Chain A
Amino acid sequence: MIDDGAVEPIFDDGPEENSPVISGVTSSAPDRSGQSPTLEVRNLHRFFGRLKAVNKVSFKAYPGQVMGFIGPNGAGKTTTMRILATLESPTAGDAFICGDSVVDYPDRVRKRLGFMPDAFGKYPNMNVVEYLDFFARAYGFKGQRRKDAIEHVLVFTELRKLAEKPINTLSKGMSQRLGLGRTLIHDPEVLILDEPAAGLDPRARVELRELIHLLASELKKTVLISSHILTELGEICDSAVIIEAGEILASGSIQDLLTLRRQSSGRQSHASIEMTLIQAGAELEKWLVQQPFVSDVSISQQAASFEFEGTQEDQHNLLKSLVNEGFPVIEFRGKVESLEDAFMDLTRGLTQ
């Protein structure tokens, strides 16, 4: 996995004064000098009448990167993805797959892009191999090359044993695997997956996550993935773009987004601390408030939590003091912030 915050938003016109885009994080994202982006969205707009479904959206992604595309329903995720997949035209702006414009060269783009829509269909009266064979033919594969491509996909998606099974009888998880296999049949460099985990059981979700991880880390595919299951995305993605009401709210590596979350809520700390005690009380609260680097103290019967802005050394000293003061501490841990936290804090609950 790549965790160097490779998302590099572009602002052709520069963010406007009232733009919700927070440039602090985006500007801090490190460059990938020497590497060309395989996916680039440049100042993309898509209007439906007066509705701005996609508005000034720009971002880049590089080989081996898994980028989450997060937003509430109606945020413009699917529209953006459909434009990238050449299924719709932008009102203005452009997007590029491996340097080819989706508007000008859709034929070239289609050869280098795999798109898995949220509701991909299945043909009746077909088995798994026939389904993959059709798409291999549709991408112009002939003879042994086609057989190899099908075999490769069957092995990668672990559908080999179901090769002769009618596709209409596959489970949801297996169907999603087949959909992913169909997307991979022509070995594209960029994969766009719209809600691939929707409706999957926990095991299927974990298996899908592993497949996507393999695609990025070993096959160096660029993956743009949208999902409502943010905990999943947090584990799959190394970066994310948060979109709401057609506009990008924030983008960057997951770590950058969490930092941004703290900044946007006015906190500079690096940790939220949670403690479990045999008994917590007003005395503990009073003591904590007086300590340096501590703020936002909250106490319940057997637990306490607070924000801590100091270093790890300071944390260690605080824990030592707590024990020396005789507070019955059982657990002392930094609360793990998730993509979900960042999403909830950064989005405004707007839908279109």
Chain B
Amino acid sequence: MSTVEATLKWLEKAGDWMNAILVKETRQSLKSRQFVATFLLLVLASWVISVFGVAMMGESINYGASGQRLFVFYFVVLMIAVTVIVPYGAFRSMLGEKDQNTFDSLRITSLSPWQIVWGKLMSALLQDFIYYSAIAPFIAFTSLLEGFELPAVAFVLVCGFLISVALSIMALMISTFAHQRHWQGILSIMLLIGLLTVLGQSSAVLLSLFSDSSLLQSWEFWEGTAIVVLVGLSYCWLFLEITSAQLTFESGNRSSGIRLISSGQFLLMNGLALGMSLLYASAFDEEIFVIFAVFSYVQLTAISFVATTEEDFLSRRIRKSLPQRKLFRFLLAPFLPGGARGMVYLLLNLGLCIGLQLLIVTSIASSGSLGSGSFFDAIKTLTGVALYIIIYLGFASAFGRFASRTAANIMPNHVRVITVLVFAIGCVIPIIAKAMEFLRWREYSLFEIINPFATIIELADDNSWTGPILLILGVFALIAVLLNLKAMVHSIYEIVAIKAAPQDTTVTIEPFQLPEDSPSDPLAEG
């Protein structure tokens, strides 16, 4: 057997263990005009850059930073391929499953949603790898020239790859939200604009490294990079989980993975802030603290907004997948689907965030840092933010539960839209009142408490209104919690009290029940 035959046989065997989507997409890509054209254009552009670059530099190629200058051009060409074409290809690939009516056939195979998403991502990464391989000889050429700095080049190339991965993941996630044709069109355009923006920004930022390569010698630079990469990776994981949830069977568990990962992220971000405050108490300033806190709150609001407005119904399939032990079920309960459990999740995570923030402030104060007072001010502002989150999401959750019982056809998305509208109206009314001179422009009025932005600015300024504002917000937050209390207790109790079925028995059908609000016979009504 020749080496080629042996290699092919080995590859075939290896292919057995590869993701089916990856194998399929690789085969398709190698035959697709788009891939072949992009590859050829990349190589052609690199050749042109090489020929013209060398010709234009003339004898100066032997001195100065000619290697670095040529690398910049190659890098931009590479970035166009890996930050625009590859992510957009991933987006189109997922959309194509729906457009070409192949998605149903795919969903009923043994592939799990995670395998589908992972396969799509891997095929994007494979394309990245091919484009990197194509440009490698040209970069190797620049290494022969003056001014080539291997650490900086390696760092920039690795960053470019990570950006491409992150963008491909985001593109895949966005594609799962585009159900209708017009949305597909709108999202395609928005994505393209976003990708081009990222291309410009990331290329500029990464290439600016060449102007000050001493940064790579700095310990702080690597610390900052590690934090950005860590947080970025956690977001990538979250986006992959969201994408997978979007592809999950209707009666499956679409919520727990997202809730668990998000909680991990809150812990990570606040933990990082805590770690930094402990390590660099004197250098850790209020701004970093607020940035970490605001990041946590924004994400918590986004995730909890969906979680608290879910229907409380828990499908039979999820019930069957619950752990056997009561303790595990109790611990898992806040992460299971359902609006009331979403409220428990929100309160737990807010408690966690606030607890860690207090620890940070305490550690700053105990270190004797002069700036600890401003941290306490920041805590007041953040408490205001937390109370607003409880008020809006608490009322939304209670309203959603009430609406689903009293009105037919009220879906979670309706509740979400109504909540956003209420929030927007709350923000706009005080502005209108000021425009019509019912309120003074330059002064804060308690009426403006319905505008969270104005109120938080007021809290940050720490004026005389701080006490009353926090008191009023606290009262409303308490009402919001009380409105959900019974449902929250019940939602946890029902999980703990559930009698989990053995995993491998044939299902016992629960007594058939029509929904309470089921319509009477529409045929009879004509």
Contact = CB atoms under 8 A, between A and B. Distances in A.
B521 A101 contact: no
Interface stretch (B125-133, B232-240, B474-482, B509-517): B509-517
Interface of A: 12-13, 42-43, 45, 47, 49-52, 82, 85-89, 91-94, 99-101, 103-107, 110-111, 113, 115, 117, 119-126, 130, 133-135, 137-140, 142-143, 146, 182, 186, 245, 350
A182 B32 contact: no
B408 A50 contact: yes
B250 A125 contact: no
Contact of A50 (B100, B512, B522): B522
A45 B512 CA distance: 10
A319 B111 CA distance: 66
B275 to A, nearest CB: 41
Please give me the 3 A-B residue pairs with the lowest Cβ-Cβ distance, nearest first. A121-B101, A137-B20, A121-B102
A245 B523 contact: yes
Contact of A110 (B103, B109, B320): B109
Contact of B512 (A92, A99, A111, A117): A92
Given A92-B515, A140-B110, A123 B24 contact: yes
A124 B32 contact: yes
26 contacts: A12-B512, A47-B515, A52-B521, A82-B104, A85-B104, A88-B250, A92-B512, A99-B506, A103-B251, A104-B316, A104-B507, A105-B507, A115-B108, A117-B104, A120-B101, A120-B105, A121-B103, A123-B102, A124-B28, A125-B27, A134-B20, A138-B20, A138-B21, A146-B16, A182-B105, A245-B523
Nearest to A131: B24
Interface in B68-116: 97, 100-111
B523 A143 contact: no
Contact of A137 (B23, B316, B506): B23
B24 A134 contact: yes
A118 B23 CA distance: 27
A100 B29 CA distance: 38
Contacts, number: 133
Given A85-B108, A121-B101, A134-B23, A51 B522 contact: yes
B109 A121 contact: no
Nearest to B318: A104
B250 A89 contact: yes
B110 A139 contact: yes
Contact of A103 (B105, B316, B512): B316
Contacts of A87: 104, 107-108
B249 interface: yes
B317 to A, nearest CB: 5
Nearest to B520: A50
A125 B32 contact: yes
B13 interface: yes
B501 to A, nearest CB: 9
Nearest to A105: B507
B409 interface: yes
Contact of A93 (B28, B317, B320, B512): B512
A245 B113 CA distance: 33
Instruction: Identify the interface centre among B24, B31, B409, B521: most chain A CB within 10 Å of its CB.
Output: B24
A85 B107 CA distance: 10
Given A104-B507, A122-B100, A47 B518 contact: yes
Nearest to A101: B507
Interface residues of B, number: 47
Given A115-B104, A186-B110, 7 more contacts: A86-B107, A86-B249, A89-B250, A92-B515, A100-B506, A117-B104, A135-B109
A115 to B, nearest CB: 6
Nearest to B33: A125
Contacts of B105: 115, 117, 120-121, 135, 182
B315 interface: yes
A104 B28 contact: no
Contact of B519 (A13, A52, A139): A52
A140 B101 CA distance: 22
Given A13-B512, A122-B100, A143-B16, A50 B32 contact: no
Contact of B320 (A47, A50, A104): A104
A123 B103 CA distance: 10
Given A43-B512, A86-B108, A123-B24, A49 B409 contact: yes
B318 to A, nearest CB: 10
A118 to B, nearest CB: 9
B447 to A, nearest CB: 40
A43 B512 CA distance: 8
Contacts of B110: 107, 110-111, 138-140, 186
A291 B311 CA distance: 70
B337 to A, nearest CB: 14
B472 to A, nearest CB: 40
Contacts of A85: 104, 108
A125 B20 contact: no
A186 to B, nearest CB: 8
A125 to B, nearest CB: 4
B34 to A, nearest CB: 10
Nearest to A115: B108
A215 B100 CA distance: 28
Instruction: Identify the interface centre among B102, B108, B408, B523: most chain A CB within 10 Å of its CB.
Output: B108
B104 to A, nearest CB: 5
B512 A350 contact: no
Contacts of B521: 52
Given A50-B408, A52-B522, A130-B27, A138 B317 contact: no
Contacts of B32: 124-125
A331 B523 CA distance: 46
Nearest to A183: B105
A182 B102 CA distance: 12
Given A43-B512, A92-B514, A125-B32, A138 B100 contact: no
Nearest to B119: A138
A113 B409 contact: no
Contact of A126 (B13, B21, B27, B315): B27
Contacts of B28: 123-126
A350 B249 contact: no
Contacts of A115: 104-105, 108
B24 A130 contact: yes
Interface string B479-510: 00000000000000000000000000011010
Given A45-B514, A94-B509, A126-B28, A50 B519 contact: yes
B95 to A, nearest CB: 12
Contact of B317 (A47, A104, A137): A104
A345 B17 CA distance: 55
Interface string B235-268: 0000000000000011110000000000000000
B27 A42 contact: no
A125 B23 contact: no
B13 A143 contact: yes
A92 B517 CA distance: 13
A120 B108 CA distance: 12
B111 to A, nearest CB: 5
A139 B109 contact: yes
A42 B108 contact: no
A106 to B, nearest CB: 5
Given A52-B519, A143-B16, A138 B106 contact: yes
Nearest to B321: A104
